[in-house]
Structure 1
Amino acid sequence: MHEAGFRTIAPYLRGFGATRFLSLGTPRVGAIAALAQDALDFMDRLGIPRFSVIGHDWGARIGYAIAALEPGRISSLSALSVAFQPRFAFQPPSYDQSRRFWYQFFMCSDKGMKRVTEDPIGFSRFQWNTWSPKGWFTEEDFNNAALAWRNSDYPTITLNSYRSRWLENELRDPRYSGVQAKLNEAERIDVPTLMIQGESDFCDAPSESADLDPHFTRSYKRIVIPGVGHFPHREAPAAVADAILHQLTDGTTE
């Protein structure tokens, strides 16, 4: 990306890496509305009025949210592994997808929540081991990534993000009520969008991201990469980089 002349900024999400809350009283919420507003606030502080968004999983959801909230600021969106959900609503999935989402429902139980709190790194390792075909990462890869999960707020933010999708009485931050209300009305994305999906994704099946073209009012392209699981940017970095570079150079000039 840099060789092509693009400036890249890769911020940590709240609760990851070296991030810290400025106040002990701030609700530790991981809702997409809060994470999207974090990203917009961050770009405001950097003085960057217009930009492209590239995001994987949570990052993809955040990208869709930013595009729904402030489409005029986004030149293009590249979303990996997670499909757009109209109105950002988590509907009960099919039985087949529910089996893949076992970890979300596990966290919704008190004992599951306790287990994740006690061993968040082990929990994350299990996802890496089961969401893609075996052998896609090394121990060094995992250990490097795990540095971002050693934040004391990581378990709380992660648990809240998933539990608030399915449970009514989870902690919420009223400061993001207006943002959430806007997302609840968003049925379409008015930003040129590239969606990249692994054909062997054992977390979010390719079928979950199929046939969504009507929800995009600008250009929309979906790429499915054979033999790749839930982490396309790590499993097929060259193919993903080429596709995103094309999106950045051509997808914004429609």
Structure 2
Amino acid sequence: MEIKARGLVFDVHEGGPTDGEPVLLLHGFPQDHREFDLILPRLHAAGLRTYAMDQRGYSPGARPADVAGYTMDSVTADALAVLDALGIEQAHVVGHDWGAQVGWHLAARHPDRVRTLTAISVPHPRALLLALRVRPSQQARLAYVGLFRSPVAEKLLLAQHALALRLMLRPIGVRAEQYVAAMREPGRLTGGLNWYRALRAEQGADLEPVTVPTTYVWSDRDGVVGLTAALRTRDWVRADYQLVAMRGVSHWVPEQAPRELADAVLARIGV
């Protein structure tokens, strides 16, 4: 369905029992709502109502041209506005990659709107900033961000039949092709990259600890986030907390380990 919010139109894909507890699912780059498709049957069978949102830059009706429109404040406000439009006062939030960043900001700044948080791959922003200061290896893991912020990023990622995108998503196999095809849509790749271009050096440095029940899912073959940031995330949660560490899994947890992720989400929600 299409949800009008903040002068934009967001594609939101709903499913599950209409009277189930609401779950807001927030995707990352370079994917979209479909990255959660493999866990949805388990969530629906547990009686949950899911809303998987194509975020700013990905929904065709929500692609501002100005990079300044892609700040974390803006994308967090989008999620709140969609909940408002759906008439949802509180939701369980599940986010991966950039969606996890939005989830951390929602839970920290608007705890009254978040029942539980399951953040996948990306840790609490302040834990990541700490790791960047003390671990050169964490700096190396995020070196790609400079490329994604560059004005030639679109050309490089789509060159040679989108070879770079395909290599990024190689762990998820044939499912990568649906995202590669989508990124050829005019404006979509630029919209996704603008999240990186709007990134501030100390983004999240002022974020308060999270006070809602939280699970952080980290995988030992994640090329983006190292162990230090994963372990120190605990320092920034003042509520029931669990770190779920997956072995042999890359950054693309929802599609590479859907059964284990669904277990973690359901355990956090308590159904």
User: Where on the TM-score scale, by shorter chain, does this alignment land: which range?
Assistant: 0.7 to 0.9
Output one character per residue of 1:137-188: Cα deviation in whole Å (capped at 9) or x when no partner: 222x1122334434423232233221332579xxxxxxxxxxx9xx653230
Can you give the 5+ residue segments of structure 1 that lack an aligned partner in the other structure? 130-135, 169-179
Distance in 2, Cα, partners of 1:66 & 1:208: 20
Inter-partner Cα distance in structure 1 for 2:161 and 2:72: 20
| Of 186, 199, 202, the match for 2:220 | 199
Task: Name 2:6's counterpart in structure 1.
Answer: none
TM-score (norm. length: structure 1): 0.78
Residues 191/150 of structure 1: CA separation in 2 closer, same or farther (3 Å cut): farther
Are residues 1:164 and 2:182 paired?
no
Q: Aligned residue pairs: how many?
A: 228
**Shift of the alpha carbon at 1:233?**
1.6
Structure 1 pair 88–74 and aligned structure 2 pair: CA distance change class (3 A): farther
Query: Residue type of the partner of 2:240?
Result: S
Match of 1:71 in 2: 111
| Corresponding residue for residue 35 of structure 1 | 75
Distance (Å, rounded) in 2 between the aligned partners of 1:113 and 1:45: 33
Q: 1:15 aligns with which of 47, 51, 57?
A: 57
Q: Summarize deviations over 1:54-103 as a string: whole Å, max 9, x none.
A: 01101100100111221011110001001001399698553312222222
Match of 1:99 in 2: 140
CA contact (8 A) 2:117 2:213 kept: yes
Distance 1:5 1:125, change over 3 A: same
- Summarize the Cα distance change of 1:167–1:199 in structure 2 as closer, same or farther, 3 Å threshold: closer
How many angstroms apart in 2 are the aligned matches of 1:122 and 1:20?
28
Q: Please give the TM-score of this superposition, normalised by the length of structure 2.
A: 0.73
Structure 2 residue 258 is the aligned partner of structure 1 residue 237: yes
| Selected match of 1:60 from 91, 94, 100 | 100
Structure 2 residue runs without a partner (length 5+): 1-42
Which structure is higher in strand share?
A: 2
Larger relative CO (CA 8 A, sep 6+): 1 or 2?
1
Q: 1:15 to 1:108 in 2, by over 3 A?
A: closer
Give the Cα–Cα distance (whole angstroms) in 2 for the partners of residues 14 and 123 of structure 1.
23
- Percent identity between matched residues is 27
Match of 1:138 in 2: 173
